[in-house]
Amino acid sequence: MSAVILDGTRIAAEIRAEVAAEAKALSAAGRRPGLAVVLVGHNPASEIYVRGKVKSCEEVGIYSEKHTPAENITTEELLELVMGLNLRDEIDGILVQLPLPFQIDSKKILLAVDPAKDVDGFHPMNVGALSTQRPGLVPCTPAGIMEILRRSQIPVAGQEAVVIGRSDIVGKPTAMLLLNANATVTVCHSKTRDLQDVCRRADLLVAAIGRAGMINRDFVKPGATVIDVGMNKITDRGEFDSLFAGDAKRSESFRLKGSALVGDVHPQVAEVAGAMTPVPGGVGPLTIAMLMSNTVRAARLRRGTHVAELSSV
């Protein structure tokens, strides 16, 4: 048996096209959605992510601006920047790229973002809205996971779901979304006993750990759906070979680049799972697509306008 590969790139393109149509309708009514991205310092991974976010805004017709304060900015100065963005009506979404430098009180910054513009869904008000099933803004990667499942017609209600990882950005909100969709949810973490046994119960397994290839076939029930949120850069040839021995195309790419991007799920899982997301090209593309979707949603919610009503504006 070989798992169905869930094509995140295709699903993300579908969502971007829908968002572009909504952005166009809003723009035609003089309400072009706007996103402000704040990138502090020069974290190379963050720079790549932010570039992708700004480029995607251009593609779907969302106004965007990038703020790049220096690495040594203080919490107070960053608060001032965020509060200035809160006040600007043409800005519908504010995204402060994480991680922030050590001297910054990240919790204080995330609390300062207007919940109505919190397109990351990290403000405690939106976290509370999600956990009490009120309308709000939902974190992008977890929302993207749900879109992959929904658009691939993978049932969630009544299913046994196991989420590995309890981060505020991915693990916890994913567990909450699955619970709201009526799955029976278990959240695992570094202190979980008998992790393999717990994972093997899952019809839906979500891996958000940050360890290359850790989830091998022994963790997976035959036929399960496996969602891989991992994005690990590996540079060790031995580690690469333990994951991809025999994959000529990947091997050549590793030889040229000296590194490879790999998920938390071992490629051999494709032999047992019913469906799985690849890395790259699985969950990753959905994160930016859902950011675009959240920005348009924030624009609509803030202005009390649904797109269907815009034709009469």
Catalytic center residues: 53, 97, 120
Q: How many CB atoms are closer than 10 A to CB 77? A: 12
Q: Considering only 23-31, 68-76, 92-100, 172-180, which stretch makes contact with ligand GUN by CB under 6 A? A: 92-100
Residue corresponding to tokens 């001297």: 103
Contact partners, residue 155, CB within 8 Å, separation at least 6: none
Q: Does 82 bind ligand GUN (CB under 6 A)?
A: no
Q: Does 264 bind ligand GUN (CB under 6 A)?
A: no
Q: Which is nearer to ligand GUN, 140 or 270 (CB)?
A: 140
Q: How far apart are CA 110 and CA 119, in angstroms?
A: 11
Q: How near is the Cβ of 222 to ligand GUN at its closest, in Å?
A: 32
Q: Does 79 bind ligand GUN (CB under 6 A)?
A: no
Residue count (the chain): 313
Q: Which is nearer to ligand GUN, 45 or 245 (CB)?
A: 45
Q: How far apart are CA 86 and CA 123, in angstroms?
A: 13
Residue type, 256: L
Q: Does 96 bind ligand GUN (CB under 6 A)?
A: yes
Q: Does 98 bind ligand GUN (CB under 6 A)?
A: yes
Residue corresponding to tokens 């939902």: 138
Q: Does 118 bind ligand GUN (CB under 6 A)?
A: no
Contact partners, residue 93, CB within 8 Å, separation at least 6: 33, 34, 35, 36, 117, 118, 119, 291, 294, 295, 298, 299
Residues 160, 152 contacting (CB under 8 angstroms):
no
Q: Considering only 95-103, 126-134, 199-207, 222-230, which stretch makes contact with ligand GUN by CB under 6 A? A: 95-103
DSSP state of 101: P
The residues in 282-301 that bind ligand GUN, with binding defined as CB under 6 A, are 287
Q: Which is nearer to ligand GUN, 100 or 273 (CB)?
A: 100
Q: Considering only 89-97, 143-151, 176-184, 189-197, which stretch makes contact with ligand GUN by CB under 6 A? A: 89-97
Residues 283, 10 contacting (CB under 8 angstroms):
no
Q: How near is the Cβ of 106 to ligand GUN at its closest, in Å?
A: 10
Q: Which is nearer to ligand GUN, 25 or 110 (CB)?
A: 110
- Is the C-alpha dihedral spanning 147, 150, 153, 157 positive or negative? positive
Q: Does 40 bind ligand GUN (CB under 6 A)?
A: no
Number of residues that bind ligand GUN (CB under 6 A): 9
Cα–Cα distances in angstroms (integers) from residue 71 to residues 76, 111, 308, in the given order = 14, 20, 43
Q: Does 12 bind ligand GUN (CB under 6 A)?
A: no
Q: How many CB atoms are closer than 10 A to CB 87? A: 8
Q: Does 100 bind ligand GUN (CB under 6 A)?
A: no
Q: How far apart are CA 277 and CA 284, in angstroms?
A: 10
Q: Does 140 bind ligand GUN (CB under 6 A)?
A: yes
Among 15, 25, 36, 95, binds ligand GUN (CB under 6 A): 95
Q: Which residue is nearest to ligand GUN (CB)?
A: 98
Order of all β-strands in the sheet with 63-67: 63-67, 34-38, 93-96
Among 26, 39, 143, 169, binds ligand GUN (CB under 6 A): 169
Q: Which is nearer to ligand GUN, 43 or 184 (CB)?
A: 43
Query: What residue ranges bind ligand GUN (CB under 6 A)?
Result: 95-98, 120, 140-141, 169, 287
